[in-house]
């Protein structure tokens, strides 16, 4: 069930949205309401809703600024509610990553369609997060086999891409080369790969390479530049940069445990 927060300074409109919209039929519940932007910001931080519906013009803090500030601490989908249709408002809403720009009075059928789409997207995101938790136990090792079980497509393109990562990570590897080998477009494979793993192909590949680099570092048998080459990084500086991105330490500090 989606948790909704409504921020609107006009009481009659806010109360109308809270009490006359059939939220239950949309599998939603209004967890909080606010009569101005400052109150809305405080309640977003307190209630951490899934969806925020906000008027643009509100006292103390306008809706878009409220959304922008709240987004720094809370992850939610935002919908702008306004009686204005000026382009500059729409541009500001886009900059704030607002999902929809709704004009008053709200079309309840359109609202229901939006909520259904948001609900499906959030469910998929939560499933992806659960999958990552299952595929990455506390030791941080990527479990490729688990990800492969999530690819239930007939052709198994994502499983095949994962297999290429496991066997070819030490060489030149790209989504384009794999998609060409599999006979599908790179954009299609990229989209499917992220749907299954929750990560881009390059991010997954780099994380797997760093994982292998850590294993090699642990043996104490190789120099860092040798490990860079062995894990598919042709440039030593790039290897160090990517390694630090995922471990928060340089390879040298990682070895020393500092």
State the average pLDDT over residues 213-236.
89
Three-state DSSP string of the chain: CEEEEEECCCHHHHHHHHHHCCCHHHCEEEEEEECCHHHHHHHHHHHCCCEEEEECCCCCCCHHHHHHHHHCCCCCEEEEEECCCCHHHHHHHHHCCCCEEEECCCCHHHHHHHHHHHHHHHHHHHHHHHHHHHHCCCCCCCCHHHHHHHCCCCCCHHHHHHHHHHHHCCCCCCHHHHHHHHCCCHHHHHHHHHHHHCCCHHHHHHHHHHHHHHHHHHHCCCCHHHHHHHCCCCCHHHHHHHHHHHHCCCHHHHHHCC
16-35: pLDDT as tens digits: 999 999 999 999 999 999 99
State the average pLDDT over residues 126-135.
60
Q: Is a pLDDT exceeding 60 seen at residue 217?
A: yes
The CATH code belonging to domain 136-258 is: 1.10.10.60
141-158: pLDDT as tens digits: 677 777 787 777 778 899
Decide whether 2-126 matches 136-258 in CATH topology: no
Proportion of the chain above pLDDT 90, given as a percent: 51
Q: Is a pLDDT exceeding 90 seen at residue 41?
A: yes
State the average pLDDT over residues 100-104.
78
pTM exceeds 0.95 for this model = no
Q: Is a pLDDT exceeding 90 seen at residue 9?
A: yes
Proportion of the chain above pLDDT 70, given as a percent: 88
What are the residue ranges spanned by the domains of the chain?
2-126, 136-258
CATH topology of domain 2-126: Rossmann fold (3.40.50)
163-192: pLDDT as tens digits: 999 999 999 999 999 999 999 999 999 999
């Amino acid at each position: 069930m989606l948790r909704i927060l409504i921020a609107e300074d006009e009481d009659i409109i806010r109360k109308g949205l809270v009490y006359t919209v059939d939220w239950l039929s949309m599998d939603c519940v209004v967890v909080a309401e606010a009569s101005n932007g400052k109150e809305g910001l405080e309640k977003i931080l307190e209630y951490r809703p899934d969806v925020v519906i906000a008027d643009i013009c509100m006292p103390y803090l306008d809706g878009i600024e409220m959304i922008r500030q709240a987004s720094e601490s809370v992850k939610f989908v935002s919908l702008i509610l306004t009686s204005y249709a000026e382009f500059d408002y729409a541009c500001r809403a886009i900059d704030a990553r607002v999902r929809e720009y709704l004009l008053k009075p709200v079309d309840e059928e359109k609202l229901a369609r939006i909520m259904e789409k948001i609900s499906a997207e959030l469910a998929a995101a939560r499933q992806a997060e659960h999958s990552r938790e299952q595929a990455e136990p506390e030791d941080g090792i990527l479990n490729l086999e688990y990800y492969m079980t999530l690819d239930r497509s007939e052709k198994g393109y994502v499983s095949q891409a994962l297999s290429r990562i496991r066997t070819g990570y030490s060489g030149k590897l790209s989504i384009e080369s794999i998609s060409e080998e599999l006979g599908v477009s790179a954009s299609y494979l990229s989209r499917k790969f992220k749907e299954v793993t929750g990560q881009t192909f390059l991010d997954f590949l780099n994380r797997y390479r760093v994982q292998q680099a850590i294993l090699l570092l642990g043996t104490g048998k190789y120099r860092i530049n040798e490990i860079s080459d062995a894990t598919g990084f042709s440039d030593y500086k790039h290897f160090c940069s990517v390694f630090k991105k995922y471990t928060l330490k340089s390879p040298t500090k990682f070895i020393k445990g500092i």
